[in-house]
């Protein structure tokens, strides 16, 4: 039995996904780094107002900013981060439907966890899977495809 994605789009929707995904990663993390500056200023101001209590947020600030960035972007109407939009990518569930905030958050958390153990090897998995999926995509039941080569999105 084939699922909705196998029926609804051709191999063209997967063409160049891995290289585009790597470039989108660079764009997205550059944007996260830019967002860290105003977040750090905000935490500093909160730290002064709370007599130093908010300064304890600094060690986790990157994870909070990046987690919100990816979760909000991936669960948005575009189903993509700004870097993914530039690279013409969108993230769908295996069934072809939109993903929610928690799936977007779990997507980035699982990526961080797997990447910390399998560093460069995490990208090699995509070379051997039929839909160019990485380990965290398979674990969460998601697939990254070219947005312009899909039919109208399903809601």
Read off φ and ψ for residue 76, nearest 5 degrees: -75, 175
**N- to C-terminal Cα separation, the chain:** 23
Select from 4, 11, 14 the least CA-distant residue to 145: 14
State pLDDT tens for residues 102-127: 999 999 999 998 888 887 777 788 88
Helix, strand and coil content of the chain, in percent to the nearest 5, comes to 65, 5, 25
Each residue's pLDDT tens digit, 23-41:
999 999 999 999 999 999 9
Phi then psi for residue 131, to 5 deg, are -115, 20
pTM for this structure?
0.84
What residue spans of 50-100 are helical by DSSP H? 61-74, 82-86
């Amino acid at each position: 039995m084939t699922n909705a994605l196998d029926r609804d789009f051709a191999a063209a929707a997967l063409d160049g996904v891995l290289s585009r995904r790597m470039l989108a990663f660079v764009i997205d993390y550059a944007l996260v780094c830019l967002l860290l500056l105003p977040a750090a200023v905000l935490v500093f101001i909160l730290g002064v107002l709370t007599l130093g209590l908010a300064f304890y947020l600094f060690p986790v600030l990157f994870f909070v900013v990046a987690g919100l960035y990816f979760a909000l972007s991936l669960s948005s109407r575009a189903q993509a981060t700004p870097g993914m939009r530039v690279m013409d990518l969108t993230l769908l569930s295996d069934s072809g439907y939109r993903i929610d905030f928690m799936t977007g958050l779990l997507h980035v958390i699982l990526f961080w966890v797997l990447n910390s153990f399998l560093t460069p090897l995490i990208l090699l998995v995509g070379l051997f899977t039929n839909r160019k999926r990485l380990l965290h995509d398979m674990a969460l039941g998601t697939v990254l495809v070219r947005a312009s080569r899909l039919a109208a999105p399903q809601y």
